[in-house]
């Protein structure tokens, strides 16, 4: 069977048979893959001219709902992916991380839409006041890049590797071309076939290359974004491509790194933390047969506990049954293929020149339910390096398989130094119940790590573990790890957006952004805004309320109702040395009274008060002051109906500007209301 590429909206086989792909368990050929005949320039042009415009017309809310629909669709099809995943050498648990972890990324980024406006672009940061009178301001908008995201994945996560990346660029409004690791691309192909068959993504939003992508970077332009996940050596070659430099193309690199797990000096044998440490390291060595960019390669333990760790870890590794993942009891499958087995074996032999193997054997190990001479199986290999500051191969050579090295440290400062000797890592972890040890290590090691996990009995049960990047947190690392970052929630989306500073009057900036800026011209209507439906409201629409003069009785009554008897409100004799010249009204009274001034009491389209985004009390209000409210529609965010019976509605953000008799603002807040739509279809 020849795998097909998905290009220019069509499935097409390569013009030649191409590379043979093998079942990692049985060694049988299952497919061939080739990209011969693909026109990469045309594929990129198709993405830019067809996929890009379609995505950019969609709002963040629509793109987010698109991701949710896609996640739900793939979730229904997951069992067929699990069946194929077996041929990559993965156990059910390994495949869960890859398949459902990838789908989970889609769900996470679908939910992230709520942090973005209901528009095709977004804004970043706060307004910059550029003039004394407030008639000239600045802001930043972020619009989708008009290029294509090229994702080159050279590691063994054929589903996660694609979905974790396209979730971000699709939410941003940018199409993608995905090139997975060829050796396991048959699983990626199956997922893309389901994505294409669903009809959920617009044409040109996603294309797939199953064979080589050599030459694709010759056609990038400045609006494109290139990401790479794989070896540091390959990443460096790609990063230095002349076209990337000429066009100043953003390049994000996530490279395999020599990640470490540190045992705190307090975590003695018999403690919960010691057991957690042993379980975590064993899991990270054997999950995906150690073929993860986040796997633990260096095990850093107190000198006095080296023997205890070696014995305990050896016992757990010995109980790990290797073999066919379909056979009951098997806990570790094979490497992704014969080439991977050969490469890891060579690295083990190289490492063995400067350190001792204390568990495992390259030749003598048992395989359950399969022929180890046909499949790409390997025993876990545990090294001991008693002089890690002197014998430094363990900090430079990575065997991308179930291989790790125990090394001792005397003081926490030594552990920090050893951790940093990896020259930059995606992740490290420390297992300790001592928060001072944790703090010292985290602060000392953070500069060389993209993520640090602190594990102890308090969080271990719910922890996602050392090796699991989370969609809402940045994944990446400095130095050897590539110097890039991906995912990271909202931060990741901004990698695919162009941030542009805009300057002008508050009114003009408001119109451009679709968000009211303080100082812009008001739009006054004859009808109260709470009587207007969601689609009828206009950004900038303002209600100038009636006024209220604050009396001491207001302060006393509010104190009685709220229980807030803070001295500044209730004791005029205690104000010496404060900023107040007399009893001051409660800030929350001012906000509450403002609500009394702007709320329309009768039943109407407003369903409920949804919350408060921000609030500041900027000027004291004393008895005798008269306050009023400028109540302005600041922003509108559409909401989808959860089901046919749900009420069609949206969220409206209102700027509540409370001012006194001098016209100065005394309090300012943003409140949210849920507002019904007139059209309930």
Three-class SS string for 409-471?
Answer: ECCHHHHHHHHHCCCCEEEEEEECCCHHHHHHHHHHHHHHEEEEEEECCCCCCCCCCCCCCCC
Residue 142: closest CA among 251, 56, 34: 56
Q: CATH for 40-120+144-255?
A: 3.40.605.10
As a dihedral over the C-alpha atoms of residue 60, residue 209, residue 95, residue 227, rounded to 10 degrees, the angle is -60
With beta carbons less than 8 A apart as the criterion, state whether 448 and 259 touch: no
pLDDT score at 231: 83
Question: Residues 142, 260, 293, 633: which is the catalytic one?
Answer: 293
- Specify the length of the chain in residues: 681
- Residue spans of the domains in the chain: they are 40-120+144-255, 259-471, 522-676
pLDDT score at 468: 86
Asked if 350 is an active-site residue, the reply is no
Asked if 645 is an active-site residue, the reply is no
Q: Give the Å distances, CA to CA, from 135 to 42, 125, 138, 191.
A: 48, 19, 10, 53
DSSP, residue by residue, 365-381: ---BSS-TTTTT----E
* Residue 321 CB coordination number (10 Å): 15
Report helix, strand or coil for 485: strand
406-421 confidence digits (pLDDT tens)? 999 999 999 999 999 9
Q: CA-to-CA distance for 425 and 447, rounded, in angstroms?
A: 10
pLDDT score at 681: 57
Taking CB atoms within 8 Å and a gap of at least 24, the contacts of 16-23 are 18/211, 19/182, 19/211, 19/212, 21/182, 21/183, 21/184, 21/185, 21/186, 21/337, 22/337, 22/338, 23/87, 23/375
Report helix, strand or coil for 633: strand
Flag residues of the chain having pLDDT under 50: none
The domain 259-471 is placed in CATH, from the list 3.40.309.10, 3.40.50.800, 3.40.50.720, 1.20.120.790, at 3.40.309.10
Beta bridge partners of 139: 502
Q: What sign has the CA pseudo-torsion 276, 155, 194, 175?
A: positive
* pTM score, whole prediction: 0.89
The domain 522-676 is placed in CATH, from the list 3.30.420.40, 3.10.129.10, 2.170.120.12, 3.40.50.2300, at 3.10.129.10
With beta carbons less than 8 A apart as the criterion, state whether 106 and 75 touch: no
Beta bridge partners of 523: 541
Question: Residues 100, 164, 254, 485: which is the catalytic one?
Answer: 254
Longest dimension (CA), the chain: 91
HSE-CB at 546 with a 13 A cutoff on CA atoms is 8
pLDDT score at 393: 95
Residue 280: closest CA among 27, 463, 497, 490: 463
pLDDT score at 645: 83
Give the position of tokens 């109407």.
Answer: 604
301-344 confidence digits (pLDDT tens)? 999 999 999 999 999 999 999 999 989 999 999 998 888 899 99
Q: Do domains 40-120+144-255 and 522-676 have the same CATH topology?
A: no
Q: CA-to-CA distance for 151 and 225, rounded, in angstroms?
A: 8
pLDDT score at 304: 96
């Amino acid at each position: 069977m020849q795998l097909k590429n998905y290009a220019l909206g069509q499935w097409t086989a390569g013009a030649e048979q191409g590379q043979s792909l093998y079942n990692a368990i049985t060694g049988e050929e299952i497919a061939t893959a080739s990209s011969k005949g693909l026109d990469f320039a045309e594929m990129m042009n198709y993405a830019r001219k067809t996929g890009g415009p379609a995505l950019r017309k969609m709002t963040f809310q629509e793109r987010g709902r698109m991701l949710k629909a896609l996640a739900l669709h793939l979730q229904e099809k997951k069992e067929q992916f699990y069946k194929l995943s077996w041929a990559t050498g993965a156990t059910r648990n390994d495949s869960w991380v890859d398949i459902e972890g990838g789908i989970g990324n889609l769900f996470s980024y679908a939910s992230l839409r709520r942090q973005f406006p209901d528009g095709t672009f977004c804004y970043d940061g706060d307004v910059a006041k550029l003039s004394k009178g407030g008639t000239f301001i600045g802001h930043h908008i972020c619009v989708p890049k008009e290029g294509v995201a090229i994702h080159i994945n050279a590691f063994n996560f054929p589903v996660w590797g694609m979905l974790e990346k396209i979730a971000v660029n699709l939410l941003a409004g940018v199409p993608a071309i995905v090139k997975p690791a060829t050796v396991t691309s048959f699983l990626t192909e199956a997922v893309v076939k389901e994505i294409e068959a669903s009809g959920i993504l617009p044409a040109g939003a996603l294309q797939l290359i199953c064979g080589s992508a050599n030459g694709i970077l010759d056609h990038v332009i400045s609006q494109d974004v290139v990401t790479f996940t794989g070896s540091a050596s390959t990443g460096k070659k790609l990063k230095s491509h002349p076209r990337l430099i000429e066009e100043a193309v953003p390049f994000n690199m996530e490279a395999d790194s020599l990640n470490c797990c540190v045992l705190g000096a307090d975590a003695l044998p018999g403690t919960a933390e010691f057991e957690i440490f042993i379980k975590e390291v064993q899991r990270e060595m054997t999950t995906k047969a150690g073929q993860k960019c986040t796997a633990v390669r260096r095990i850093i333990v107190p000198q006095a506990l080296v023997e205890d760790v070696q014995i305990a870890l050896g016992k757990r590794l010995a109980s790990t049954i290797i073999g066919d993942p379909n056979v009951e009891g098997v806990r570790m499958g094979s490497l992704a293929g014969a080439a991977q087995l050969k490469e890891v074996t060579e690295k083990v032999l190289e490492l063995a020149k400067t350190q001792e193997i204390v568990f495992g054997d390259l030749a003598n190990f048992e395989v359950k339910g399969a022929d180890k001479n046909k499949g790409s199986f390997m025993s876990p290999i545990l090294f001991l390096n008693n002089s890690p500051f002197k014998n430094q191969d363990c900090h430079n050579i990575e065997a991308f398989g179930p291989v790790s090295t125990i090394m001792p440290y005397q003081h926490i400062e030594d552990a920090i130094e050893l951790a940093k000797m990896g020259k930059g890592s995606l992740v490290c972890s420390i297992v300790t119940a001592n928060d001072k040890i944790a703090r010292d290590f985290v602060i000392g090691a953070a500069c060389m790590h993209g993520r640090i996990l602190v594990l102890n009995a308090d969080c271990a049960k719910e922890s996602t573990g050392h090796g699991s990047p989370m969609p809402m947190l940045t994944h990446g690392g400095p130095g050897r790890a590539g110097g890039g970052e991906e995912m990271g929630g909202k931060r990741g989306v901004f990698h695919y957006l162009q941030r542009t500073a805009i300057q002008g009057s508050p009114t003009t900036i408001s119109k451009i952004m679709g968000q009211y800026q303080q100082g812009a011209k008001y739009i006054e209507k004859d009808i109260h805004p709470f009587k207007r439906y969601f689609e009828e409201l206009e950004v900038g629409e303002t209600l100038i309320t009636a006024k209220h003069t604050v009396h001491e009785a207001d302060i006393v009554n509010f104190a009685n109702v709220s229980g807030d008897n803070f001295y500044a409100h209730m004791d005029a004799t205690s104000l010496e040395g404060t900023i107040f010249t007399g009893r001051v009204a409660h800030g929350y009274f001012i906000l509450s009274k403002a609500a009394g001034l702007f709320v329309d009491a009768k039943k109407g389209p407003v369903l409920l008060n949804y919350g408060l985004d921000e609030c500041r009390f900027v000027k004291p209000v004393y008895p005798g002051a008269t306050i009023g409210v400028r109540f302005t529609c600041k922003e509108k965010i559409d909401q989808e109906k959860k089901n046919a019976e749900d009420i069609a509605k949206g969220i409206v953000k209102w700027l509540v500007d409370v001012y006194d008799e001098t016209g100065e603002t005394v309090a300012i807040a943003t409140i949210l209301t849920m507002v019904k739509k007139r059209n309930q279809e």
